Amino acid sequence: MSERDPDAELIARVGARDAGAVRTLVLSKLPRLLALATRMLGDRMEAEDIAQEAFVRIWKQAPHWRTGEAKFDTWLHRVALNLCFDRLRGRREEPADTLPDEPDPAAAPDQRIEARTRDERVRAALAALPVRQREALVLTYYQELSNLEAADLMGISADALESLLARARRTLRTQLAGESAGKDSA
């Protein structure tokens, strides 16, 4: 690996059971893990379970971590995604009824209602996507991974990722436009 892993030193300290390193790791990685799992599962409580299980796996793996084989962040995202896929296989997928993120409290009430409605529509449309398309969108747009990083994490080529993204965007556009057209005619 030509690029130095920014987490290598921290993981070595976690592997040595340094409590301060564990706190630092949790503070730095928890928000993104929760965001990823919440967007994949549509349920904040399940996302918290996923994050907890991911940190248990970090704790177990850290003493054996070999720097240079994979970037820690890439491995962590893969673990979290695999845990999400296990949850998704164990249930029938339905759009979430509740919003995991609260709208900006500084916004006016009508703006909050409009934002909540838009967010609900986007979440429902995202949840209705095939899992691989949803995974591609979440990794690139919400987790802000590059196409190459997301493709590597998914175990596919960059061209295959771009194809998944194109299909996902097209499906979302169609679903969201169809909902708007249905509301306008009602």
Top CATH class of 1-92 equals mainly alpha
| Whether residue 175 has pLDDT greater than 70 | yes
Q: What pLDDT shows up at residue 97?
A: 60
Domain map (residue ranges) of the chain: 1-92
List Cα–Cα distances, 48 to 8, 27, 36, 37, 62, in angstroms. 25, 14, 11, 8, 21
Q: What pLDDT shows up at residue 166?
A: 95
**pTM score, whole prediction:** 0.57
Q: What pLDDT shows up at residue 159?
A: 95
- Dump pLDDT digits (tens) for 116-132: 788 888 888 888 899 99
List Cα–Cα distances, 136 to 27, 101, 104, 132, 181, in angstroms. 25, 21, 27, 6, 27
Q: What pLDDT shows up at residue 186?
A: 46
- Dump pLDDT digits (tens) for 88-97: 887 654 555 6
Which H or E run includes 8?
Answer: helix 8-15
